[in-house]
Structure 1
Amino acid sequence: MICKKVMVWFLTALLATNTLLCLPNVAGAEKQNLSDGVQQAQADSEQKEQELTNETASFEPPTSATNSVYNALMMSLAAVEYTSIIIDPGESYEFQNTDTVSKSIYSNASQSKGILYDSVSYKEDGDISTVHMDYGISPIGVPGGGTAFITNTGTAALTVKVTDVFTYSTSEDPALERVTLSKNESYRVVNEGWTARSIQHDGSNTDNRRFDYAKYKADGTLSASALNIGSYDV
């Protein structure tokens, strides 16, 4: 028997539409000024001092073990082959990490260019690892043995790159289930999982997208509530 932690939210949109969702520094060559102030005979002192003042010697530090490891790592990374997948706006993909350690999915996501996505990463046991809404940053991590869903929510094509440890396919299900609340409309959301989770939203005080909410524990007692907010993790 699996005991689930149930949390209930009630949310009401107030003024406008809200969408609720669930190197190392490598040492460079150093220049060592050599000016030992040796006094020569009076006849050639000016010439010798001028030569010593202008003389420089280059110092090249030996390659350290740390730099050797770093260079080897960079060469190894350069040799890694990536597969590119183009995800058009509205499309969703599922990615499975077949490795036993966390791996990253890279992309050309950019807030300024309107290349955005929703994503959710699951651990091997099915528990949620990370959630992002309208995200414009790369990369995202997928736990070893875990799965990630990515949905292009932007206005331009999203290109993702993965190594051969990932298997992938298109998905009929989006990364996040989206519900749009109109002004004065309310929704009841139930957490059927066994751990606390947040609801992603695009509420904004600046854009006048605010809402009220009340959150209840499994036994029905009030956990938290707020009025007329636009920037809060629910």
Structure 2
Amino acid sequence: MKKAYNILLIALGIIVLSWFLPWLYSIVFPSAASDPFIAYSPVNDRMIVSETGDDKNLAIYSLDADGNREEGVYTKEQRDSLLPQIYYTQLMAREALPDTIAGIEVGVAAFKHSQWVFSALPRDINKVMPEVYLMMESMPARIDLEDPKEVFRFRDGKVEFIDMETNAVIEGRSKRFTDIFNERGFALPMRAYSANITSRKPYDEGYLMVDANGDLYHTKMQAGRPYMM
């Protein structure tokens, strides 16, 4: 029995140390992580990868549609020419910006107008989101916007407003918003929504919402009352 207890204790110690020692090493000897930058090239129809290795040097290579890596590496100048939609400023400074790409006329104005950035983090994938939504006052008593103090949710076909500090349902506002949602014909459940909930902006325009029928609505709160188009 004592021998079995010792074996169990040793095994438990190994398990704990296998977790603790790497964590301790990462604290004592921190190292900056570098994620590869991947972008599609409209010039050669491949994915261009810029990756910093252990030697701190930048390796630039390409991948085909099946993820196969091309032998050899590119220079930064070659990378710039393969990704003109990103490095057009650098190409313009070198007077190497192309006039056309794949038969389409391009230029700095076209690149600036069509450029957009989408950022995502691995922890956001399959993330469970709370089914409550922040609501700002778009016409505050003072000039500056204030951080939201209320959230709303859809419950049993109604719009329900909740005070975040007390978790109490705000009956009057809930009824007013429920009434206007019904009057405008908003079909639940909501399919999609978009909003910019922050007080660090000059004004607030509430939410763009897509209902179950695919219809688009603009909703916001003005002086405590609902606005919906």
| TM category, shorter | under 0.3
- When you count helix as a share of all residues, which structure comes out higher? 2
User: Structure 1 length as normaliser, TM-score?
Assistant: 0.20
- When you count strand as a share of all residues, which structure comes out higher? 1
User: Structure 2 length as normaliser, TM-score?
Assistant: 0.20
